[in-house]
Structure formats: structure tokens, C-alpha cells
Amino acid sequence: MDLLLVEDDAMLGQAVELGLSERQFNVQWVRTGAAAISESQRVNYDVVVLDLGLPDLDGSRVLSSLRKKGQVLPILVLTARDDSSETVKLLDLGADDYMIKPFDMNELAARLRALVRRQRGYATPELSCGPISLDELNFQVLVNQQPVNLSKREFELLRAMMAAPERVHSRDKLEQIVFRNEQQVESNALEVHVHNLRKKLGNKEWIQTIRGVGYRLACG
């Protein structure tokens, strides 16, 4: 995660750089507003941490200047002033968030993650197992990046097993999941779905049969 830190104070800058680097941010640190503006045009950062009270430009100038140039990246402002009218102004000027010094590094990191997360749009939580990935929300299954079209039952089946790969899932449990309460099945419907699923996934070994018990998903 590429982060631009705009901070003139050496002590604080170093502390923030270190603290955020430890938390998996890739920090680029500049000391002046002018540098911030040019740097943010040179490289595509994910997020900016901007201290007010820079030597050359007022921080709020930097802020509005960035926005005027069409920068859309999230900006978090650091301020010493706990002045509500000031902070309202900042937010309306285009800041996405602010923190008052002194602040907690964990919270700063969390706020930054939240900003970036929002900016990117939520990556939907995906289940994955080897080359198979399954997006529960969007009903999409990829095998080696290629979309695979599954029917509802097949999807349910795969999802149930992907919730716990490498583990044995009993027939009973799987039938319950796939057929909800719709009716008791007393045919081999489950086996048929397993068969079709195997075919669609393209590798029959991924779904192993545990004779007399159930199935296990084993990929990669």
C-alpha cells in the first residue's frame, strides 16, 4: 500500500514512517507542500497523510491545491488544533479524515486502511482453495482465473466444501445444505451433483470420495 507522508517535523515524521512501515505501508516521506504536490503527480499513491503547519505552504492550501488538480486519492490530515470549526472546514475542503496530535499509531493505521479499502471498493471476501476461488456474494467461481458456470445446487455444494477444505463433509450434511428443507432426498441426486461439479471444475481429483462417509475437497 503506497502512502505519501507530508510532514516537516523530523521527529514526528520518523516516528510515523517507522510506525506505518511496520504495519505494511510503503511510506514515501516528503517535507514540504510543494514536494507533496509534485510527488503526488509523479506517482500513484493509495493514500496521503498530510500534516498541517508546513513551512512553505499552509496544509489546507496543499489540500485544496491537490483537489483542484483533480487528485482523488484519500487524504488524512494531522492537526494539532482541536478546533471543531477548523476540522469541519478541512473536511469540506476535501480531506477524508483527520487525526489530532498526539495520536495512536494503531488507530492511524486502521483509519488509513479504512480509507484505502473504501477507495478501492470492497474486495468481496472470497473463499479459495488452490486454483479455485469462490465469491459468495457474486455467485462466481473461478478456476485458474477462468470463470466457471455452476448451477445453484452445484454452487452450494462447492461453497459448503470450500468453507472447510481438506476436511470430510458427510453426505447427510451436504444433502442438508444442498437441498435445504425442500424434501428428503432418497435418490442419488447428491452424487449426480458431485459428478457434474467435478466435470465442470475440470479435475476429478479435487473432490475426493470418502467411502461410506462423504466427500472432501483437496486442491493444491
Q: Applying CB under 8 A, which residues contact a second copy?
A: 67-70, 72, 74, 84-85, 87-88, 91-92, 94-97, 104, 106-107, 109-111, 113-115, 118-119, 121-125, 137-140, 151-152, 164, 166-168, 210-213, 216
Concatenate the DSSP letters of all residues of 139-196 into one string. Answer: TEEEETTEEE---HHHHHHHHHHHTSTTSEEEHHHHHHHHTTTT----SSHHHHHHHH
Query: Which of a second copy, DNA, none does residue 87 bind to, with CB < 5 to 8 Å depending on kind?
Result: a second copy
Scanning residues 22 to 81, which ones bind DNA (CB under 7 A)?
none
Q: Does 212 bind DNA (CB under 7 A)?
A: yes
Q: Compute the distance between CA of residue 27 and CA of residue 106 in angstroms, rounded to an integer.
A: 16
Q: Which of 194, 201, 206, 217 forms a contact with DNA (CB under 7 A)?
A: 194
The contact pattern for DNA, residues 145-184, with x = CB under 7 A and - = no contact, is ----x-xxxx----------------x------xx--xx-
Q: What is the dihedral of CA 88, 91, 92, 96, to 10 degrees?
A: -160
Greatest alpha-carbon pair distance for the chain in Å reads 78
Residue type for 154, please? E
Residue bearing cell 481438506: 166
Q: Which residues bind DNA (CB under 7 A)?
A: 149, 151-154, 171, 178-179, 182-183, 185-189, 191-196, 198, 204, 209-213
